[in-house]
Amino acid sequence: MTEIHEFIQRDTGQHAPAITPIYKTSTFRGPTRPLLSLQNSLSEVTGPAFGQHELGPLDNDLIRNYAQSGDPVGERVILHGRVLDGNARPVAGVLVECWQANASGRYRHRNDGYIGAIDPNFGGCGRCLTDSEGRYFFRTIKPGPYPFRNRVNDWRPAHVHFSVFGSGFAQRLITQMYFEGDPLIRHDSIVNTIADVAARDRLVARLDLNAAVPLDTLAYRWDIVLRGTRSTLFENKLMGN
């Protein structure tokens, strides 16, 4: 019988403080009292388990999986990479999810009131399972930047949200990926809550012309490292995952 262990409490030493004045809404949303440690339930440490049969053939193709009357507007890109453990070994069978704004910088969400146009052919969500070599792959539209109410003229750089599921619900890790060469990254109030410059850089996907489709689609490579000194910075990192 497999021995079941509870997950280890997060180590916040690598993270931005919960309350960071440069990111103004954190002063309202950040916890001001000590956090409580709750015991994990059996369902949190033993599930879920995902299989390829649960995914649709277009789940990782954001260009086609919501299309109604044609292709979505914008720059076509491939996002790919590997999910690795702390020893650079591939992690197979991991559910990787992504969600993003469209090319005009608008999310398909009823609370998004930005003036960017809604694209009827773009939903902005995808998912896939890593293969035996830990590889994941998405085809999508490069998201546009958008303003947000923080300082007088703050803009979010182009970014894609990623979620990675482990062997239990409490092992879901969430982060954001940015694009190499985007000048807005160095001005972003959210990115700059991360004090470690190297950790910020590990959130940036690199242009990968070898994986591009000539005359069609550019590609960016971004590896997701679950632990160790080269770990990807997650918004909710649980040390020991």
Distances (CA, A) of 216 to 76, 128, 140, 210: 7, 22, 12, 13
Token pair 């044609």 is found at 70
Q: Out of 76, 127, 156, 202, which one is annotated catalytic?
A: 156
Query: Catalytic: which of 127, 159, 200, 202?
Result: 159
Token duo for residue 138: 């998405």
Give CA–CA dist 213/13, Å, rounded: 41
Let me know if 146 is a catalytic residue: yes
Q: From the candidates 66, 107, 136, 220, which is the catalytic residue?
A: 107
For 74: left if phi > 0, alpha if psi spans -120 to 50, otherwise beta; the answer is left
The one catalytic residue among 82, 106, 161, 200: 161
Which position among 23, 66, 146, 178 bears the catalytic label? Answer: 146
Give the C-alpha separation, 134 to 99, whole Å.
20
**Distances in whole angstroms, Cα of residue 185 to Cα of each of 119, 157, 162, 197:** 25, 6, 17, 12
66 is catalytic: no
Backbone angles phi and psi of 42, in degrees to 5: -60, -40
107: annotated active-site residue: yes
- Write out the catalytic residue numbers: 107, 146, 156, 159, 161
